Chains A and B, each alone.
Chain A
Amino acid sequence: MSDVHTIAELHRLYRSKSASPVEVTKACLERIASQDRELRAFVLVTPERALDDARQAEADFVAGIDRGPMQGIPYCLKDIVETAGIRTTGQSRLLAKHVPASDATVAARLKAGGGILLGKNTTWEFAHGGPSWDVFAPPARNPWNLAHHPAGSSSGSAAAVAAGLAPATIGTDTGGSIRLPAAACGIAGLKPTYGRVSRKGVLPNCFSHDHAGPLAWTSQDCAMIMAVIAGHDPGDPGSSPAPVQDYQAALDGTCLGLTIGVPWSWLDQAGTTAPTRRAFEVALDVLRGIGATIVPVTLPTLEAYSDSKKTIAMSELFSIHERDLRTRPELFGASLRYRIQCGALIRAEDYVQAMRMRAELAAATQRVFATVDAIVTPTGEPAGKLEPQPHSWLFTQKSMTTPFNSAGNPAHSICMGFAGNGMPFALQIAARLFDDATALRIGDAYEKATPWRAKRPALEGVPADPVG
């Protein structure tokens, strides 16, 4: 895969006139054509739009117009991000023919920044129900082992980047849906601070916990995407006017001066396996070696964050889909329908108490962040087999990603090495509110101190689907 480049590499190649956006785009489209039948990372490829965007980017470079770090960079969008004139389905039969009239803000900013839209990525149904075989399109596969899942819900987004089909993508994250696919696919994925990146035009999952953010091969690439998509949007009521950091300037290749907290009890509560724990401890040694001080911290239990978030999320999810659930329930996949139905049974009192609990959990989290610059954990376990999950998994799974949706802090996942079966381990790095740059800085420094970014998946063998 020697012709696969990162965003940073393409940035340099374009400005030294050593590469052409049109030729780079054609190479991406060729890789998609040859590999995506098996990978299923895309529900829609937009070759005409891509080549139009590429020709415009090339013409702009020739004319001396430089729109910024995403000019000439091919990207894709999770298929819950609305695109003007381009079908956006949410991977649901309910929206099989939905063509938005306008771009989501994040899509508009990438277009204005000279990016090249390759297509729309496979997702779980409405970014919540999955993996599903009874919806608009089948689920994506993991490039490291096509019999394994790429997690969700930004499943196709992460698979596309890991396989080298696109250097950049936008996903969304309500409880882990950028970080877990990034982890499963061995790439970088940032859930920004809540309100840092606009949600306008992104189909909602849970208004109060949804985030849009970048996935890419490296933390530096995520920083370059953030330079274009971050910033206040008056069209998003949750959008923050806080000043945007210079994410790329923060990447100094070290963790010097940083104190990083580890909530060791979370690893026990999440049932972290011995191999993941060992990989995490090795990662902590790497962080110490590049200048970080590691200290233990104590945070509320994972169960408390989970109970608050799930009560709120299921209520909001039901409010979003209640009319369709009552009038045309047969159009939902079974996984999402189960989750929406749960929301119908939650009392208003429970929702408010969950919101009061959220306020207290968020305050407790920020009190800990007052003592450290960042908090790290494993993102989760290496990805398992791609197969239907029991519905009760919604309630029984333990997550170290959800707390940072509850509290709103930025949280970034990067590759932390590989398990014995070749599947990636991943490290989650959370930082203070609106200090997304520190999370990216730690990720970048760790990546440059380790060999993991040199290894790409081989994409071999196509397994039979577990569901016929």
Chain B
Amino acid sequence: MNDRLDVSRTEVAVLVKAAGLEPSQSQFDEIVEAYGYLRAMTARLQSGFGYGSEPAHVFVPERT
């Protein structure tokens, strides 16, 4: 089981810019490291749910 995937620094730079962040060099390095773990984690998220598999945050209007 891979806890971390290799990621492209270029890809991370695009994502960071899109998120409106301006990290320092050391902070960017941290983000690159984290993104490898994040990609591995989200790759493990279950997929192939049926149409009826609703997420846990379904809107309940009487609560508003």
Residue among A350, A357, A391 making CB contact with B34, cutoff 8 Å: A391
A366 in the interface, Cβ–Cβ < 8 Å? no
Given A308-B45, A325-B21, A353-B46, also A360-B53 (CB < 8 A): yes
A237 in the interface, Cβ–Cβ < 8 Å? yes
User: CA–CA, A106 to B44, complex, Å?
Assistant: 38
CB-based contact B30/A354 at 8 Å: no
CB-based contact A307/B44 at 8 Å: yes
Classify the secondary structure of B's interface with A. loop
CB-based contact B27/A341 at 8 Å: yes
CB-based contact A395/B37 at 8 Å: yes
Residue among A303, A322, A338, A346 making CB contact with B44, cutoff 8 Å: A303
Residue among B34, B46, B49 making CB contact with A341, cutoff 8 Å: B34
CB-based contact B33/A392 at 8 Å: yes
Q: For residue B46, which residues in chain A have a CB less than 8 angstroms away from its CB? A: 304, 353, 356-357, 360
8 Å CB contacts to B: which residues of A343-376?
Answer: 344-347, 350, 352-360, 362
- State how many residues of chain A have any CB contact under 8 Å with chain B: 37
User: CA–CA, A391 to B4, complex, Å?
Assistant: 13
0 or 1 for each of A300-311: is its CB under 8 Å from B? (1 = yes)? 000110011011
Given A354-B45, A359-B53, also A342-B21 (CB < 8 A): no
8 Å CB contacts to A: which residues of B20-52?
Answer: 20-23, 27, 30-31, 33-35, 37-38, 41-42, 44-47, 49
CB-based contact B37/A392 at 8 Å: yes
Given A237-B63, A326-B21, A346-B38, also A353-B49 (CB < 8 A): yes
A208 in the interface, Cβ–Cβ < 8 Å? yes
Classify the secondary structure of A's interface with B. helix
Q: For residue B27, which residues in chain A have a CB less than 8 angstroms away from its CB? A: 329, 337, 341
Q: What distance in Å separates the Cβ of A223 from its nearest Cβ neighbour in chain B?
A: 28
Q: For residue B42, which residues in chain A have a CB less than 8 angstroms away from its CB? A: 307, 311, 346-347, 350, 353-354
CB-based contact A345/B15 at 8 Å: yes
Q: For residue A347, which residues in chain B have a CB less than 8 angstroms away from its CB? A: 42
B64 in the interface, Cβ–Cβ < 8 Å? yes
A396 in the interface, Cβ–Cβ < 8 Å? yes
Q: For residue A344, which residues in chain B have a CB less than 8 angstroms away from its CB? A: 15-16, 19, 21
Q: For residue A345, which residues in chain B have a CB less than 8 angstroms away from its CB? A: 12, 15-16, 19, 31, 34-35, 38
CB-based contact A311/B45 at 8 Å: yes
User: CA–CA, A314 to B42, complex, Å?
Assistant: 12
Q: What distance in Å separates the Cβ of A134 from its nearest Cβ neighbour in chain B?
A: 13
Residue among B1, B4, B22, B55 making CB contact with A358, cutoff 8 Å: B55
Seen from chain B, the residues whose Cβ lies within 8 Å of a Cβ on chain A are 1, 3-4, 12, 15-16, 19-23, 27, 30-31, 33-35, 37-38, 41-42, 44-47, 49, 53-57, 63-64
Instruction: Pick the 4 closest A-B CB pairs, nearest first.
Output: A355-B55, A395-B37, A344-B19, A358-B56
8 A-B pairs within 8 Å (CB atoms) are namely A304-B44, A325-B21, A326-B21, A341-B31, A344-B15, A354-B45, A360-B53, A396-B37
